[in-house]
Amino acid sequence: MSVRTDVDSVLAIDGLEVVYNRVALVLKGVSLSVARGSVVALLGGNGAGKTTTLRAVSGLLAHERGEVVSGSVSWMGESLVRLSPDRTVKAGVVQVLEGRRVFEHLTVDENLLSGAFTTKSLRQARQATSVVYDYFPRLADRRRQHGGLLSGGEQQMLAIGRALMSEPSLLLLDEPSLGLSPIMVSEIFEIITRLNVDTGLTVLMVEQNAEAALSIAHHGYVLENGRVVLDGTSDELRNNQDVSEFYLGLSGVGERKSYRDVKTYRRRKRWLG
Amino acid sequence: MGEFVQLTANGALLGFMYAILAMGFVLVFKGSGVINFSQGELVLLGAYVVSWVLATLGVPFWLGIPLAALVCAVAGVLIERFALRRLLNESMLALIMATIALGSIIRGLMSLIFGDRTRSMPEILPTGTYEVLGLRFSALMVWAAVIGLLLLGALAWFFSKTKLGLAMQAVADDRVAAQSLGMSLGVVNATAWAIAGAVAALAGFVWGSFLGVDGRLIALGALIFPVVILGGLESIPGAVIGGIVVGIVESLSAGYLDDVVGGGFSTVAPLLLLLVVLLVRPYGLFGRPEIERV
Q: Residue B17 carries which side chain, given as an amino acid letter? A: M
**B167 vs A105: CB contact, 8 Å cut-off?**
no
Give the gap in angstroms from C-alpha B270 to the nearest C-alpha of chain A. Answer: 29
Query: What does the pLDDT average to over A81-105?
Result: 93
Chain A CA closest to residue B163:
A122
**A85 vs B179: CB contact, 8 Å cut-off?**
yes
Chain A CA closest to residue B177:
A101
Question: Among B173, B290, B293, whose Cβ lies nearest the Cβ of A103?
Answer: B173
Domains located in chain B, CATH noted: 2-280 (1.10.3470)
pLDDT tens sequence for chain B (294 residues): 788 999 999 999 999 999 999 999 998 888 877 888 988 899 999 999 999 998 888 888 889 999 999 999 999 999 989 888 888 777 888 889 999 999 999 999 988 988 888 888 888 888 888 888 888 888 889 999 999 999 999 998 998 889 999 999 898 888 899 999 999 888 898 999 999 999 999 999 999 988 888 888 888 888 888 888 888 888 888 889 999 999 999 999 888 887 777 777 888 888 888 888 888 877 766 666 655 554
Q: Looking at beta carbons, which residues of chain A come within 8 Å of B163?
A: 117, 121-122, 125
**B184 vs A84: CB contact, 8 Å cut-off?**
yes
**B181 vs A146: CB contact, 8 Å cut-off?**
no
Res A239 pLDDT > 50: yes
Phi, psi of A25 (to 5 degrees): -80, 110
CA atoms of B27 and B211, how far apart (whole Å): 24
Give the gap in angstroms from C-alpha B166 to the nearest C-alpha of chain A. Answer: 7
Res A265 pLDDT > 60: no
Res A217 pLDDT > 50: yes
pLDDT in the model for residue B129: 85
**B291 vs A148: CB contact, 8 Å cut-off?**
yes
Tell whether A103 is within 8 A of chain B (Cβ). yes
Tell whether A170 is within 8 A of chain B (Cβ). no
pLDDT in the model for residue A273: 36
Percentage, residues of chain A above pLDDT 70: 88
pLDDT in the model for residue A255: 52
Tell whether B170 is within 8 A of chain A (Cβ). yes
pLDDT band at A261 (very low <50, low <70, confident <90, very high): low
Question: Are A151 and A138 a contacting pair, CB within 8 Å?
Answer: no
What is the count of residue pairs from A and B with beta carbons less than 8 Å apart?
A: 94
pLDDT in the model for residue B279: 86
Distances (CA, A) of A93 to A164, A166, A212, A260: 10, 9, 23, 41
**A63 vs B178: CB contact, 8 Å cut-off?**
no
Q: Which fold has domain A9-272?
A: Rossmann fold (3.40.50)
CA atoms of B208 and A23, how far apart (whole Å): 53
Tell whether B294 is within 8 A of chain A (Cβ). no
Give A202's strand partners.
A170
Cβ neighbourhood burial of A151 (10 Å; 0-12, 13-18, 19+): middle
Res A12 pLDDT > 60: yes
Q: Looking at beta carbons, which residues of chain B come within 8 Å of A125?
A: 163
pLDDT band at A2 (very low <50, low <70, confident <90, very high): very low
pLDDT in the model for residue B58: 85
Tell whether A65 is within 8 A of chain B (Cβ). yes
Q: Is residue A180 helix, strand or coil?
A: coil
Tell whether A107 is within 8 A of chain B (Cβ). no
CA atoms of A207 and B197, how far apart (whole Å): 46
pTM more than 0.90? no
